[in-house]
Amino acid sequence: MSVNQSLKPITTSVNNKGHLEIGGCDLVDLAQEYATPLYVIDEATLRGICRDYKKAFEGYHNIKMMYASKALCTSAIARILDEEGFGFDTVSAGEIYTVYKSGVDMSKVLFNGNNKTRKEIELALDLKVGRFSVDNFYEAELLNKIALEKGVKVDILLRLTPGIECHTHEYIQTGQIDSKFGFDLTQVDKIVELIVDEYKQLNLKGVHAHIGSQIFELKSFEDEVEILVKEIARINEKYGLNLDEMNIGGGLGVKYTDKDCPPDTKDLAKVITEAMHKHSVEIPTIYIEPGRSIISTSGVTLYTVGSSKVVNINGKTKRYVAVDGGMADNPRPSMYQAEYLADVANKPENNEKEKVTIAGRYCESGDILINEIELPYLETGDVICVYNTGAYNYSMASNYNRVEKPAMVLVNSAQSDIIVNRESLDDLISHDNIPSRLRK
């Protein structure tokens, strides 16, 4: 079983105090030392899934692993992924700058995104990012212009929408025709002709697609490979080019709840490599860009229980238990109706259980982290551990209600280290400015 199929970090256990521990660290102690809400990343789980991916594809010599940084991008995470031999798919100046300052070889970085600004393009060129994934006609023209101004040539991939709709939430589908991302297949000839005839600073190396996220049906990847391989062959034949790179994106699912059954990384590798072997076109370099499946399982979030209330609905009672975080540190339940599982870190094996709804602290009725979960009876001060929060929690966090963002710690071999400091109240107002005419 690969790590993405695990509900909890691989080092999760109950210690002799009856507390949950991850990475050899007691979660109750972490909550006391660093306060809550607290993001916790298990280094062993993170490295484990990286190695699962590399082992799954080891027989296919030309696969290059890229981490989709949008899932979680911090300096320490970038260092770990770099040490594990991954490149980086980035989508903003902030992600580019983070991996650059972390000491990453920038030739292993791809700049992706549907509306790159001039400032971001200039930064990427100055830092010598290895590839641009060109998303649209406007970007191609702008990139060529800026590259000409700087006197450089740019290696690019064309971002295509192959027309594949995955069975996942509509907000995280990206490969269907009705999408804001990429060129649809009817537009490919026009952009290739512009590159060949006019945009001389752009060196077209291949194509790029990403069909969605939290994908469980591997047939989607097989269909994607077939479409991209045929398109590369068609472009090469028609225009006399030698496109030799294909980036198939990421999207492999993870296990958020017991009903989720994501494929193993070995199964993903088998489908992709067999799909490649079906076609006579030789593509020397193939990129794959996992994000969620790399980081999600390694992360948990700790919360402290505060207030609670019981309501009576048509003769049935329902208990709400509020914690000290919610939709600002994990917006996914309110955005995608995402589901999570949790344990009570200070008494995970308590047999006195109840069904409760875990509510957040924010001023929205929809701020519900988990709707109706069976847990040991909850009291004020208990520490709740929500699993599989490594991806798209911190990276989508906000300061809604002017609340400080949580800290993040990395745990490994009974050692914990802060990798993101908790925001302070002064941090919250650090970018505010009062015009002189309003000052007392």
C-alpha Rg value of the chain to the nearest Å = 23
pLDDT at 351 (0 to 100): 87
pTM: 0.94
Domain boundaries, the chain: 3-41+298-429, 43-295
Please tell me the distance from the alpha carbon of residue 375 to that of residue 356, in angstroms, as a whole number: 7
423: CB partners within 8 A, 6+ apart: 399, 404, 405
Higher pLDDT, 278 or 100: 100
The residue type of 274 is E
Task: Identify the band that residue 227 occupies on the pLDDT scale cut at 50, 70 and 90.
Answer: very high
Q: In this structure, which amino acid lies at residue 186?
A: T
- pLDDT, one tens digit per residue, over 90-140 is 999 999 999 999 999 999 999 999 999 999 999 999 999 999 999 999 999
Query: What single-letter amino acid sits at 112?
Result: N
Q: How confident is the model at residue 384 (pLDDT cuts 50, 70, 90)?
A: very high
* Residue 369 predicted with pLDDT over 70: yes
Instruction: Enter the CATH code of domain 43-295.
Output: 3.20.20.10
The pLDDT of residue 253 is 94
pLDDT at position 61? 67
Residue 171 confidence (pLDDT): 37
257, 262, 410 from 7: Cα distances, Å: 7, 11, 18
Of 134, 290, 177, 164, residue with least CA distance to 227: 164
CATH match for 3-41+298-429 among 2.40.37.10, 3.40.50.720, 3.40.720.10, 3.40.50.300: 2.40.37.10
Q: DSSP assignment of 245-307, as one string?
A: EEE----B---SSTT--PPPHHHHHHHHHHHHHTSS---SEEEE---HHHHTTTEEEEEEEEE
Residues forming beta bridges with residue 249, ordered by sequence position: none
Mean of the per-residue pLDDT values for the chain? 94
- Write the DSSP symbol of residue 349: T
CA dihedral for 259, 179, 367, 39, sign (positive or negative): positive
Least confident of 37-46, 103-112, 180-189, 407-416: 180-189
386-411 per-position pLDDT tens digit: 999 999 999 999 999 999 999 999 99
pLDDT digits (tens, 9 = 90+) for 289-300: 999 999 999 999
Would you please indicate which residues are annotated as catalytic (active-site) residues? 363
